Every structure is written in structure tokens, then in C-alpha cells.
Amino acid sequence: VSLIAFSVVVIPPTLLFLNKNTAARNRALMKRNLTLYNFKRKKVQQESVTVKKDACENSTPITNSKIQKCSLLNSENKNENGMCKLCNLHLFLSEKWLPYFKDEFHKEYFGKIMTMLHDESVFYPPVQKIFYFSHFFPITDTKVVIIGQDPYHNKGRATGLAFSVPPNVPMPPSLRNIMAEVRRNYKDATCNLEDWAKQGVLLLNDTLTVSEAKPGSHSTYGWSIFTDRILKFVNEKCKNVVFMLWGSFAGKKSALIDGKKHLVLTSMHPSPFSADRGFNGCNHFVKANEYLRKNGKEEISW
């Protein structure tokens, strides 16, 4: 709260007793100044709002300017009562994952992510889908990790699962190449990425949000700190996980993975610009199942 300057008339004591009228006027003036000061101080204090502690014991002071930004978010990012879902983003991380990552929501980098997202009127996926990848299995049951870069930037496409699109949406080129590679070895594959997730496949984008029609626009927001934390957890706490790293960007994540403890599969990206130079024919899906079977885990029904 900023300090408020106010003036007080200082009168020499000898003059206070010149007559009763003068003394009375001085007392009235001092009382008026004190009342004005208290009124202004109370008004400024009311301009600071504190969000109540939530399930994560998160208490974050916000100003009216942030409340105004919440009101600018599109309706998809508000609940039925018109409240900002973004301010309660942690509630959309699976309860089975939250104990491992709740501290991240208190860190400075995450506060910056929230500030920047509040400046966006439209971004994808909608808030309730940002952590959708966590809703299918406990993180300790992870069997395969497939890393993407960031969500699709067009309306109705981003699902919260890397590379996945809703059933009624045409497959983007990279996803078509992924499906073609699967079907080279598994002719009857349904190629439903949600089905993969239900079997322990973590479909994780490095950056979890994107501005409408601006691919890569949130790559500097700090999401990679959070998603790297997830990868480090899987590397340290899980055993015999298959990591599929497609393209140079995903390939850099190999630095976070113990290749002696897990299987790391690398190739070119499935994008049409590079798929013919190493992704097509990589046999990653076959190799993944062979590794899982060898280590006593159930194979993935691709």
C-alpha cells in the first residue's frame, strides 16, 4: 500500500490559548485532517485483494488489475459461476500427481506463467485440459513417454495430449505419419491416442499452452521448467520406461534420462519435412513393446 501524504497544521502552543475560538478551530482542523487520512488509507487498502488459501495452501496476493484480466478471459476458461479457472489451475492436475508437484505452483517461475497467461484473452488448450495428460494413470505407472513441442494453435484441436486431436478433427500431417508408422507393424491398430494414455503412455508437450494462431508463442513462458520436472521424476522414480524422442528438440531431453535404466529411442520428427529422413521405418512402437515385454510389463495396444 502506498503512503499517502497529508498536511497537518502545526500551531505554536502560545497561540492555542489566545482565545477559545482559536483553540476550537485548531482542534476541528486537526480532526478533519486525521479523518481524511484514515479515509484515504482505508480506500487504498481495499484495492489489494488476497485470494483465499486453496487445496494447495496457495495464498497469492493479487490486485484489482489482475481481477480485471481474469474477466477478459474467454468463457471457456471460466467455470459456471464466472470464476477464473486459471487462478485455480492446480485443481486440474490429477489428484494422483498433485502430491509430487504441488510445490511447483508456489515457485516464482510458475507465478510468471500465470501472469503471462492472464494477459492472453485466447489460448489453447482450455484451462481444464492443460494437465489432461495426468488424468489417465498415476505417474509412477508410466510405461512410455512421447514428447511433443507445444499444443496445436487452432481452435478445437489441442487436447492436452501431445500430437492428439479430437475424433471429429482431421489428422494433422505429423499425426498421420505417426499412425502410418504404427500400422506398418500393427495392421489393426486403432491409433487412438487416448487409448494409449489409458495404458500408461505419457503424451507430454514441452510447452503446455499456445496463443491462438501463433505456434511456439509460449515457448519462453517457463513451461519447460515444469515439464522437465515431470521427466526428471519419471526418470528417477520409475523403472524400465520407453522414451520416444522425435526431432532435435525432443532429442535434447535425453540429457534428463538415464539410458542405463530406461530405453531411449530417437529419430527425426514425424513432420512431413523430415519423416522420410529417419522417422518412417524407425520401428519405435515395435521396439517399445519388445522392451516392455522383456521387463515384465504389459505391451501397449497401439
What is the model's pLDDT at position 190? Answer: 83
Q: Could you give phi then psi for residue 230, rounded to 5 degrees?
A: -65, -45
Using CA atoms, how far apart are residues 184 and 29, in angstroms rounded to an integer? Answer: 90
pLDDT tens-digit map of 76-86: 665 556 678 89
Give residue 107's pLDDT: 98
Instruction: Just list the catalytic residues.
Output: 150
Q: Over 70: is that where the pLDDT of 51 sits?
A: no
Q: Where are the alpha helices (DSSP H) in the chain?
A: 13-16, 20-45, 64-72, 98-101, 108-118, 173-185, 193-198, 223-237, 247-251, 284-294
273-284 confidence digits (pLDDT tens): 999 999 999 999
Task: Encode pLDDT of 127-171 as tens digits.
Answer: 999 999 999 999 999 999 999 999 999 999 999 999 999 999 999
Using one digit for the tens of pLDDT, what is the confidence trace for 113-131?
999 999 988 999 999 999 9
Residue 98: count of CB within 10 angstroms of its CB: 17
How far is Cα 151 from Cα 33, in angstroms, rounded to an integer? 58
Q: Is the pLDDT of residue 41 over 60?
A: no
Q: By the 8 A CB rule, do 232 and 211 touch?
A: no
Residue 218: pLDDT above 60?
A: yes
Report, as an integer, the average pLDDT of 1-29: 52
Q: What is the pLDDT of residue 94?
A: 98
- Provide the pLDDT confidence category of residue 55 given band limits of 50, 70 and 90: very low
* Per-residue pLDDT at 62 exceeds 50: no
Confidence at residue 18, expressed as pLDDT on a 0 to 100 scale: 46
Question: Are the CB atoms for 67 and 48 separated by under 8 Å?
Answer: no
What's the Cα-to-Cα distance from 137 to each of 67, 88, 134, 199, rounded to whole Å? 34, 22, 7, 8
- For CA atoms 197, 241, 153, 209, the dihedral sign is positive
Burial 130-139 (b: 16+ CB within 10 A, else e): bbbbbbbbeb
Q: Which tens digits make up the pLDDT trace of 236-290?
A: 999 999 999 999 999 999 999 999 999 999 999 999 999 999 999 999 999 999 9
In the chain, % of residues over pLDDT 90: 70
Pick from 1-10, 192-201, 206-215, 292-301: least confident: 1-10
Give percent of the chain with pLDDT exceeding 70. Answer: 73
Q: How high is the mean pLDDT of the chain?
A: 84
pLDDT band at 7 (very low <50, low <70, confident <90, very high): very low
